[in-house]
Structure 1
Amino acid sequence: MGSSRPVTPASPRVPKIKPAQPGVPLFGCEHVRILLEGPVEILENTIRAYRTCMCVVSDTTPIIPQTSKTPAGQALTTLTPNYLCLQCEVTTTASGRVEHGMETKHRFYVESRNGYLFCQMCNDFVFDPTLEGLRLRKIGTGSFSSRKRKLDDLFTDASKEDSQLMSVNTNNTPCRASGIRGIYNMGATCYMNVILQSLMQNPLLRNFHLGDGHRSSECTRKNCVACAMDEMFQAFHAQPETVGYSAHNMLACFWMSKRKAYEELASNKEQDAHEFFQFLTEELHEINANAHRQALEDGAPSPKRARPDSSCNCIVHQTFYGRTQSTITCQGCGEIRTSVQQFMDLSLGLDVLSKKKSIKTTGLSVKRCLEAEYKQAERCEYTCHNCGTKEAKKLSSIKSLPNVLSLQLKRFKQSNGSASKIETKVSFPLKLDMYPYTNRARGQDSKQNSELARGCTYELQSVVVHVGNLETGHYISYSRVGNQWFKFNDHNVTLASKSDVLNSEAFILFYVIQSLA
């Protein structure tokens, strides 16, 4: 439940209660009064403990007061404030604070961000002048001393207190405007939360929405998904909040939509996260593509296209869309027919591969799935227009890659009218080289291959995970912020290791091209 804190030496001075001032209460609450008006020993211990807590809050790295221990003894680091017990050396979460109070009868805690005093019996933060004076001095000067500085000190070299004052006042709030917030579950909406969390860490979408790409203030569209996305990006990346976010506006956009496909979303049933991703990107594409066309009609200059051969220049196409090339070769006369299709994500089948004996020995991987889809030819139904032969082979490859590559591992299948989940372990890399699966990889010399391959390397950005079975399953996600991974379980956000990510049962993988990662 809790973790021990470093202990600082006790002050030899006898603590004093701050004298009464007009309009200012003498004590934070009746419970604090009983504590501080008791024996001198209790008063000294309380002041000493509060100073120790403030040293932890102010002097240590932010991760220390934000880390507690679970009942099983595992370290738990959270983004929401923790509470340092004033009567023992335990650091605990908000829920753990209640349990700790019931077990130990300890009633006073120090908030881990700013050092505010919390009274369990009042169930609220309380303003106590004596402890508040210590808090303000510690945060303001880095010291509990109230010594006034001499005039000569103002013109000397920076003292220790000066450097501490500068350090305290130039440190940003932990995770300030970094996009790290949980999202509240509003009734089986974990499928929506994991997709939104993944998009919040998408560099192209982030720059688009924070850069006024969709002008919400000028938008007249009712139940606009792009406006809801604007609101989320502002809340995640432009506000120093780390508490959970309610995506009710986003959910309402789909509930109020007249589209038949979205009717299932207006229920408390669990939905498919991949389908929601498709719905969301389709809506964003339609809104932003229409805005682009309207701008051209109004005489605005056309922005530079991300890809010259792309039919749409909206942010969704710039971010997620690529193209695959299918080559069909007639086995009779050798005629070759080629077709090109756009894709927003690549779906990798698991059912057939997972049943192979070699896979049971070596294990299934994303690389093996990509090889089966884009490096191996397969027989297909085709009638040759030249010779009439019905035997042909089809080989698919990737003609152009997107900036953000979305890979769906097809874990859900329909068989005999019933749905089931494929729980085969699929390994995936933190860095993915997509060059071997492109049509450029064929017929090139080795030097040219290495040069082209550098532009086809991706780094893992987010992972959507489905836990459990189809009936009682739950979605969680992992996302990378800088070099640190975080686990998002609805409104709960915790630190995660690379091994946590790589050992997860991935359902959707989001890779960002290395130049943008």
Structure 2
Amino acid sequence: MASVHSISLLSEAEFGCEHLAAQLGQDGSTSEQFKSAFIKTHNALSNFPRSTDLSVKQSTRLKAKGFLKPKYTCLTCSEAISMADRKAHTEKTSHQFYMDSRGRTLYCEACSDFVYDHGLERLRCSTTESALEVARKRRFSNSSADELYIRSNANKRPCAKQGVRGLFNLGQTCYLNVILQTLLHDPILNTYFLGNGHQPHDCTASDCVGCAVAEAFADFNSSDKAEGFAALNLLLASWRASPTLAGYQQQDAHEYYQFLVDKLHASTEGHREGHEKGCPCFFHKTFYGKLRSSVTCDKCGNVTRTDDPMVDLSLDVQVQAKKRAMGGIGASSTPTLSGCLDSYTSPEKLMAGVYNCSHCGGTPQKATKQLRIRKLPAILCMQLKRFEHTFSVSEKLEGKIDFPLSINMLPYTTVPHARVDRSRFMYDLSSAVVHKGKLDAGHYYVYCRQGDEWMLFNDDQVTAVTEADVLNADAYLLFYNLRSLASAPQ
């Protein structure tokens, strides 16, 4: 016996979307006018020249690139407009249904998607103007096997993907998978790549990393498949762009993140190579901040300031561990992210010989150095440096480091604290990358926020987890998103 829920789904499946259901559910004359406009537009677009006809009239010198872009015909006023002007037309006229010139498929601006309606599909089974009359005379039987199959299996296409997808390990590629999953779950990057961001069909660069990432976003958000997929093109593009990445040896996820951000920046049209010039591209604004180094001469008080671009913060957790081992303050406590940030931005004494003061005749002087964040990025990556390499030994610091779900970065900036809205510096955790195992034989997995929930991505295995699971993880990389882009600090 059918449940109330299943009956509801069947009734929804009778129309392509709820907006179309409202349109066709109006009084008879209004509904018939819409169907007539649908058939009339369909027949008019049947003569729209195909891309294969371009070679027939070379004398017109049509540019294929612009010619292939579809036009959208409004079913209400019959005006043909471009994709870029479609939203403005709807806002001006309240007309929300269009037919595209290439596939003659129905588009609903309210859904921002193409919609399929089996009733309208029956109307355009014929290419003649009498199709509407034929449909009036010949009704499909409700008991028809075909009609029953369509009603039982059709439903509205979701506006967004349902669930999440893992990434197949292609041979020691877990370092790539965790960074890509982090990007795939970032709302800022989804808006860019699923909108009018990097367009592979317009890109002429060979082995473009930006194109490979755009393809990964398209694959991940495809509603056609639910199982995991392989980011093979991104792997190959990375190998070709960096000889040190080529091959199936284990790589560092932090170094791959830096590589990927740099290549995405380089793939943007109009980007500037020198970060000190202030590149206006999307990726530079999203990933790059500025770090200020201030050196104060202990003798004369002269201050030398230098601003450098930063793509992440590398926080030395080894310093805290050594202090605890020596019986310092907080010897029995767990190291914290805020403690690492405090150490990172605390003044540091420089011995004579390291710094030459220009105000003291260029002579070596003792000095005090301090790092502060001059400009924060929208996506802030923080590396908890668990790996230490010396001439004699390379080791990894195991153990938990406490980190919060939200953090205020104002105390670590150059901004005067008393004259600013602290809420403008709030960041929320978006993902946490974990490394398990030894330096040369480890494995990466990542926790990512999916809406209001958290998911654990271990290559192609996906598991729902709690906030407590995330906060208990031995994180290696932490990614935080600026809470409000509208009030982002400059």
What TM-score do the two structures reach when normalised by structure 1? 0.60
Secondary structure in structure 1 of the residue aligned to 2:244: helix
Rate the CA distance shift 1:293–1:414 in 2: closer, same or farther, 3 A.
Answer: closer
Seen in structure 2, the aligned counterparts of structure 1 residues 242 and 265 have a Cα distance that, compared at 3 Å, is same
SS of the aligned residue for 1:347 comes to: strand
Q: Does 1:384 align with 2:362?
A: no
Secondary structure of 2:270 counterpart: helix
Q: Name 1:280's counterpart in structure 2.
A: 260
Secondary structure of the structure 2 residue equivalent to 1:371: helix
Partner Cα distance (1:251, 1:466) in 2: 20
Decide which of 440, 459, 474 is 1:471's aligned counterpart.
440
Pairing 1:208–2:169 present? no
Rounded Cα–Cα distance in structure 2 between residues aligned with 1:178 and 1:238: 9
Alignment equivalent of 2:210, drawn from 210, 226, 233 = 226
Q: Distance in 1 between matches of 2:281 and 2:431?
A: 22
2:295 aligned residue:
328
Instruction: State how 1:39-118 maps to structure 2 within 5 Å.
Output: none
Aligned counterparts of 2:163 and 2:217: Cα–Cα separation in 1: 8
Alpha-carbon distance in structure 2 between the residues aligned to 1:461 and 1:383: 43
Task: Tell me which of 184, 187, 190 is aligned to 2:174.
Answer: 190
Aligned to 1:345: 312
2:428 aligns with 459
How far apart, CA to CA, are the structure 1 residues paired with 2:169 and 2:391?
Answer: 33
Give distance in 2, aligned partners of 1:167 and 1:429.
47
Distance 1:425 1:170 in 2: 47
1:411 to 377, 386, 391: 386
1:434 aligns with 2:413: no
2: distance between equivalents of 1:253 and 1:406? 23
| CA displacement, residues 14-73 of structure 1 (integer Å, 9 cap, x when unaligned) | xxxxxxxxxxxxxxxxxxxxxxxxxxxxxxxxxxxxx8xx98x979xxxxxxxxxxxxxx
Aligned equivalent of 1:269? 249
Instruction: Note the C-alpha offset of 1:199.
Output: 0.5
CA distances 1:300-356 after superposition (whole Å, capped 9, x unpaired) = xxxxxxx9x961122221111111111111111111111111101111011121111
Deviation at 1:429, TM superposition (A): 0.3
Gap runs ≥5 in structure 2: 8-150
State the alpha-carbon separation in 2 of the partners of residues 395 and 340 from structure 1: 12
Give the corresponding residue for 2:457: 488
Whole-Å separation in 1 of the counterparts to 2:192 and 2:347: 38
Distance 1:187 1:460 in 2: 29
Inter-partner Cα distance in structure 2 for 1:167 and 1:503: 45
* 1:82-140 deviation digits (Å, cap 9, x = unpaired): xxxxxxxxxxxxxxxxxxxxxxxxxxxxxxxxxxxxxxxxxxxxxxxxxxxxxxxxxxx
- 1:452-486 Cα distance to aligned partner (Å, 9 max, x none): x1110000001111012123310000100111000
The whole-number CA distance in structure 2 between the counterparts of 1:205 and 1:511 is 13
Q: Which amino acid aligns with 1:323?
A: K
CA contact (8 A) 1:195 1:273 kept: yes
- Matched-pair contact (CA < 8 Å) for 1:188–1:269: yes
| Structure 1 residues 293 and 346, CA gap change in structure 2 (3 angstroms) | closer
CA-atom RMSD in angstroms: 3.0
| 1:399 Cα deviation from its structure 2 partner | 1.1
CA contact (8 A) 1:318 1:403 kept: yes
Query: 1:339/1:471 Cα in 2 relative to 1: closer, same or farther (>3 Å)?
Result: closer
Relative distance call for 1:179 and 1:516 in structure 2 (3 A) is: farther
Query: Structure 1 pair 326/240, CA: closer, same or farther in 2 (3 Å)?
Result: same
TM-score norm. by structure 2 comes to: 0.63
State the 1:396 CA deviation.
1.3
Q: 177, 181, 185: which one pairs with 2:165?
A: 181
Report if aligned partners of 2:349, 2:366 keep a CA contact under 8 Å in 1. no
Report the AA paired with residue 264 of structure 1: T
Which runs of at least 4 in structure 1 moved beyond 6 Å after TM superposition? 166-173
Identify if the C-alpha distance between structure 1 residues 167 and 391 changes in structure 2 by more than 3 Å, giving closer, same or farther.
Answer: farther
Q: Which runs of 5+ in 1 are unaligned?
A: 1-50, 60-165, 295-306
1-structure distance, mates of 2:153, 2:199: 37
1:386 partner amino acid:
H
Kindly state the Cα deviation for residue 375 of structure 1 after the two structures are TM-superposed: 3.5
Counterparts in 2 of 1:385 and 1:167: CA distance versus 1, 3 Å: farther
1:505 positional shift: 0.9
Alignment equivalent of 1:292, drawn from 270, 274, 299: 270
**Percent sequence identity over aligned pairs:** 38
3-state secondary structure, aligned to 2:295: strand
Which amino acid in the other structure matches residue 256 of structure 2? Answer: F
Which letter maps to 1:331?
A: D
Matched residues in 2 for 1:465 and 1:198: separation? 12
Is the Cα contact below 8 Å between 1:412 and 1:419 reproduced in 2?
A: yes
How many residues in Structure 1 have an aligned counterpart in Structure 2?
335
| CA distance in structure 1 between the partners assigned to 2:199 and 2:235 by the alignment | 20
